[in-house]
Chains A and B, each alone.
Chain A
Amino acid sequence: EAGVVQSPRYKIIEKKQPVAFWCNPISGHNTLYWYLQNLGQGPELLIRYENEEAVDDSQLPKDRFSAERLKGVDSTLKIQPAELGDSAVYLCASSLAGGSSYNEQFFGPGTRLTVL
């Protein structure tokens, strides 16, 4: 069974440029998460989707960040414009159903973003 797929694995951009990350979750997983991980820190939730609905986006900086999961499967996270402080690893994870008591989250390998 394929795991969570993310692309690109690495991205280097100039500040003020836009950037987009793509995630394909494990087949059958209704819940999809985007996390940000800074060096030496734990993952921090940016947004959680239940199918195509964003049910928790309170930590998403909406002035520059946006996300979509149009058909309830794969998802895209966008930053426009990027700032130096956005340099981090962006992780995507999926689970069977976030509304259940507990479901293990499966993480993708992440996209390492460097903003110059």
Chain B
Amino acid sequence: GQSLEQPSEVTAVEGAIVQINCTYQTSGFYGLSWYQQHDGGAPTFLSYNALDGLEETGRFSSFLSRSDSYGYLLLQELQMKDSASYFCAVQRRRAGSYQLTFGKGTKLSVIP
């Protein structure tokens, strides 16, 4: 089987830095993605890691350690608009193609 674990809720102060962790167990692992979803909105892509290390995109960074089956999303200079749910998703190879499986999500609340 497969599983993804991420905290259900995180609260952080505006302007601060927050890290959302994700651990996974799956066969055929290929990469780890992160998606953001505001309440009532569509999930939107943030980042993707296929190799170990850190990927930086503006205020958001994502890290992957394949040997530890672990990744995280780092949000810097938090803004109120960053309040949303964040999903890690594993990409795995299945039946000759690639499948994305989402975690349950972490609800981030940014407070003044």
Interface size of B by CB at 8 A reads: 25
Tell me the interface secondary structure of chain B in the complex.
Answer: strand
Contact call B42/A56, Cβ cutoff below 8 A: no
Chain B CB within 8 A of A44 CB: yes
Cβ-based interface call for A55 (8 A): yes
Partner of B102, one of A44, A56, A100, A101: A44
Q: Which of A45, A93, A99, A102 is the one whose CB lies under 8 Å from B31?
A: A102
* B99 on the A face (CB < 8 A): yes
Q: Can you give 23 contacting A-B residue pairs, CB < 8 Å?
A: A40-B105, A41-B105, A42-B103, A44-B102, A45-B99, A45-B100, A48-B97, A48-B99, A50-B97, A55-B97, A56-B94, A56-B95, A98-B97, A98-B98, A99-B98, A100-B98, A101-B50, A102-B31, A102-B91, A104-B45, A106-B45, A107-B44, A109-B41
- A interface majority secondary structure: loop
Residue among B31, B100, B105 with the highest chain A CB neighbour number at 10 A: B100
Considering the complex, give the chain B residue whose CB is closest to the CB of A107.
B42
- Cβ contact within 8 Å between B104 and A40: yes
Contacts of A50 in B (CB 8 A): 97
Contact B97 A99 (CB under 8 A): yes
Give the A-binding residues of B (Cβ under 8 A).
Answer: 30-31, 33, 41-45, 48, 50, 87, 89, 91, 94-105
In Å, the complex CA distance between A41 and B96 comes to 27
